[in-house]
Structures are given as C-alpha cells and as structure tokens.
Amino acid sequence: MLQTREFSPLTDDLITQIKGIVGAENCSTAQAQRELHSKDQSMFPPALPDVVVWVESTEQVSDILKLANTHRIPVTPWGVGTSLEGNPMAIHGGILMSFQKMADVVAVHADDFQVTVQPGIGYKDLNEALARHGLFFPPDPGANATIGGMIANNAAGIRTVKYGATRDNVLSLQVVLADGRILQMGSRSVKQSSGYDLVHLIIGSEGTLGIVTEATLKLAPIAEHKIAVQAVFETVAQAVETVVAVRGSGLDPVALEFIDTHMARMMNSSPQVDLAERPQLFMEFHATHEDALNQTIDFITEICSEIGATKLHATADTKERANLWYARHHAFESFQRTHPGKRAYLNDVAVPISVYPELIAFIHNLRETGPLPAYMLGHAGDGNIHVIFPFGDDEEYKQASDMNAQVVEKAISIGGTATGEHGVGIGKSRFMATEHGEALDVMWAIKQTLDPNGILNPGKIFRD
C-alpha cells in the first residue's frame, strides 16, 4: 500500500497565519530549531520540517490542523524524539508540531488509580509526580519518552510482562482529527462496552489518524517489597528455556529480560557494570508481603538450578537493584563506547513465548554466519527481542538491513510481528503487507476516512 505525495508548499502567508494561532514566540523557521527537530534516535538521515510550532492548547492544535488540511500541508507530531523508527520525523517537511509546552498533569484520580495528563509530559516526570500518591504509570520504555509518544507507538518496555503495554493502560483520549474536530474517546470507567473502541484504534497509529491532546491513564500502586534476580547460564538455550519455565510456573515477574554473551561483554564497557560474560536473565518481582518474595526466591532458585544456572543472585537492596537495571537501560551507551564511529541498526520483533527459543536460535545462527556482529537483549517475558547490528558505511548498512529483514521475516513466519514496541515508523513499513495481508487495505481505508488529504504524519506505516 503506497501513500501519495500531494502536498502544497508552506508559504509566508501560511506561516503568518500559524503565528496568529500560537503566537510568534511559538513558531520558528530558524535553521537551528528545524535541525534540532529533524531526527529521533533512529538510524535514518535527518528530515527538516519547514516550521516548528509549539502548541499550548487543544484549540491551537485544532486550528492549525484546520489550516493545514485546507491547504494540504503535512503535520508531524513531536514529543521529545526518543523514538527508534523515525516515527516523529517530518520526512515531507511541512509543520513539526511540538508538545513540549503541553506537559501538565491535568488531574490525579487517586481513589480510582487514574491520572489525566497532557501528551508532552515525560513518563519519568509523571511517575515522579505520582510517587507522593503511592502510584505509578507502569509502562517503562527506558528513556523519558512523552506520554503522547508512548501512545502513538504503543510503547512497552521491561514491565510489560506484568502490566502490559501502553495500550493496556489507557482509558480515554482527547483526539484532534485532521479536519480539526475535537473528539473524546473512551471514558474513565474501567469497564467499557459502548460502541467502537476508538481509543485502541488511535493507540499505535503513530499520529497518522489523529493527534492526542489529553489522556486518562490507569495507574498501579507502588509495591512495598521488590527483589531483582540475576541468573547466569552456560548456553543461550538454557537461558531461553528458563524464560519459558518461569512464564509457565505461575510466578508473576514484573520484568524478565534476556541478555546474550556478546551483549553482556559490551555492557561491561561501563565502569559501573560487572556482568558475567555469559547468557543471562534479569528478573524483578514485587509483593505486598516479604514472605511472598522469599517464597518466590525459593521457587526461582529451584527452576534456574534445575535448568543449569551457574550463578544466581537475588537482592532486595535498592542500590544493587538500581545497578542491575542501570546496565540494562544504558545498553545503547555501551554500544556507542564499544563501536565508536558506528551507528546502530536496531531490530524489534516479538513472537509467542512458545516459539521464543526458535527465534533466538535463528538469530544466534544468523550472527555466527552473517557478515556483521549482532547483540541480543530483550523483554523475553513477553516474547520481545532486540538485535543490534553495528554499521559504519553504506555496504555495512545494506548488510545490517538484510540481517534485520531475515529476523523480521522469521518472526512473522512463526506467528510474530515486525515490531513489538517501537512502532512501524519509516523502517518497518516494508513488512506491513507481509504481516497483515488484506488487513492493510482496511487500515488504509480507515486512514483515508479520517485523513483523506493524508496530512497526518505522512510516510509512516504505509509505504511511501
């Protein structure tokens, strides 16, 4: 499914009208601002917008979209640029709409375990504000991504195995359509069976169907007792077998992460990290009572020992837990230290947990026979794996792209998906027809209905 490019240039007169909507101080055509908003954390080359606009209200978003839709000007929403598939890059120029100034907590509904926020707030900032209520928003993508960006990409992270992805933690949305209509979707009721589920249509649509200006999110209580567990194995097969065993044991891990030998060795480039250079799992468990955690440790010890763990370390110490997750969250910085001058081609696929061992074995063989190094880490508890391929020149980029394609095609062939949490963006659109078949035509029909002029984040999800 191909998108067409029928956009109009952004004239001085239109820029004057935009300034009339948001104020001159919130509208910039300066080269420095355009470059600052031209690239996310992906490997794709920069794409300059024609103008950067900072919106401060839903009404401003509506007025700008009305103007852009009338004149066929592309509009690309921007959170903070932490995405990894080029999702918020203005590859057709036009208006880059930043939500930096729409970052408020609108209301905390503590008794309902809910919060209503604007889309520009970072999830770490949100959780800092919620801590005083003893609550937190569970999805954890690692970087301080904005809530709007997390909704757009259906972000997930290390806690997905227990709490689900962003999609599982959103109750209602305020959304502005391409023609400027402001819609309220969903409600604050946890149980909803009224009409089409438009909330979940918008989540994961990457700003191609509408732009989120407010969201009501589910929250969870902060657990009083927490333990982190590190289990080291001699082989990848043992580590992956343990993933399946833990998931089938009835235990309820908050996080269950797989790290291969190459990744552990690379992480050790950080002075704060000292990992055994073997395949291993990082796990975390929460409980309201300490006795429950002690029983969990006993059960995990039994499972890991039976499968062949050579090292097992469980800790409730806050500093030790933080150091363990520091290593996981700073994997990308470790890559940059280990491969100076190289860039990362980052893979993101997910499969049913029953075939996770098959996928990992396939990637392991690909690494052994392929032209480039490959590093594996991922949210094994929900069947998600990331593979990092370093590249430096055009030839290595082609090799990385080919190795990535082989992993994606393998994942799809065994019942998985091209992207578990990073979204489609620019790089994964080439796999959408293979994964979705005729369902992609239905997606296109929905896109045409809600955005007939194709102004909303063009070049994403569908081939361009």
CATH code assigned at 374? 3.30.70.2740
Give the count of beta carbons closer than 10 Å to the beta carbon of residue 430.
Answer: 14
Q: Are residues 326 and 344 in the same domain?
A: no
142: three-class secondary structure by DSSP: coil
Helices first, then strands: H and E counts in the chain: 16, 18
186: Cβ–Cβ under 8 A, 6 or more apart, which residues? 170, 171, 172, 173, 192, 197, 198, 199, 216
H-only helix segments in 178-269: 198-202, 236-247, 261-267
22: three-class secondary structure by DSSP: helix
> In 219-337, which ranges are E strands?
220-221, 225-232, 255-259, 280-287, 311-315
**What pLDDT was estimated at residue 2?**
56
**What pLDDT was estimated at residue 128?**
97
Does residue 457 form part of some domain?
Answer: no
**What pLDDT was estimated at residue 332?**
82
> CATH no. for residue 298?
3.30.70.2190
Does residue 236 form part of some domain?
Answer: yes
Angle made by CA atoms 274, 279, 280, in degrees to the nearest 5: 70
**What pLDDT was estimated at residue 292?**
86
In the beta sheet, which residues pair with residue 2?
A: 463
Q: Are residues 111 and 209 in the same domain?
A: yes
Last residue of a domain, one of 332, 349, 373: 332
**What pLDDT was estimated at residue 377?**
93
State the total domains in the chain: 4
> CATH no. for residue 196?
3.30.465.10
Angle made by CA atoms 374, 228, 363, in degrees to the nearest 5: 20
The per-residue pLDDT for range 157-178, each reduced to its tens digit, is 999 999 999 999 999 999 999 9
142: containing domain:
105-221
| Residues comprising the chain, all counted | 464
Does residue 45 form part of some domain?
Answer: yes
Tell me which residues of the chain have a pLDDT lower than 50. Answer: none
Say what the pTM is. Answer: 0.95
